[in-house]
Structure 1
């Protein structure tokens, strides 16, 4: 087997392992939260597919949470989703706390979402999330580094 073929096979084994581990995490959630988190997952993948410059997403676990990265293009900041441990009926979408993403979301959507400091957007399992606004926030996260590079070149 050639070196490139070996690398591809190794990446496929890693992806399959990550996929099984991520699936196990989703299966461990209570039904109402699992359904909401899977809907959030679909929204993340759909948004990535529809957003120019993002490329393929990698789904893996970070800190035991389903996480979404842009390794192909390095266009975005990692997005994580999980239940809120301190509130049985809440879940969240987490962003890197050293970015200005949540601050940006708060400025764009001050009343549409509840926020957890500079880390996340919070949701109640009994409520539907605001899809268009959330897609915009996810697109901004998935293009965070791409937009920073464009801003730096423009200076």
Structure 2
């Protein structure tokens, strides 16, 4: 799932093709990690990939389990993974992994060009975002 030829929605494919060459592989890596994480969470239902605000976005329309995850390029450069700023996803993950990721408030994790994100905290963040609206014991 790391190829720009592997898209159900041609508009999402165009969005990935429009990303600069130096960050496209990293954003495709995040996309793969989102789909891989979702595959292990049967309770969220199908993962839907679309565009929100012109950015690739990942939702769970069948169950409403997720808070939207988006991928994009911040004004500061590099690349980023975003969640809804009014959710507690970022603060929860920052409490668990205070030094492993670069947080931009409650809305994004920022990465430098060429930086490979640490898998464990990033997978935890994605899983939390995808299950955000599910009841927890």
TM-score (norm 2): 0.90
Matched, 1:102 2:69: no
Question: Cα offset for 1:150?
Answer: 3.4
CA distance in structure 2 between the partners assigned to 1:61 and 1:52 by the alignment: 23
- 2:17 & 2:89 partners in 1: Cα distance? 29
- The Cα shift of 1:97 comes to 0.7
CA distance in 2, matches of 1:22, 1:84: 18
Deviation at 1:125, TM superposition (A): 1.8
Q: Which residue of 2 aligns with 1:86?
A: 76
Any gaps of 5 or more consecutive residues in structure 1? 1-14
Aligned residue pairs, count: 131
Q: Which 4+ residue blocks in structure 1 deviate beyond 2 angstroms?
A: none
Match in the other structure for 1:53? 43
TM-score by length of 1: 0.80
Query: 1:81 Cα shift?
Result: 0.5
**Secondary structure of 1:94's partner?**
strand
Alignment of 1:21-60 (within 5 A): 21-60=11-50
Identify the match of residue 64 of structure 2 among 56, 69, 74: 74
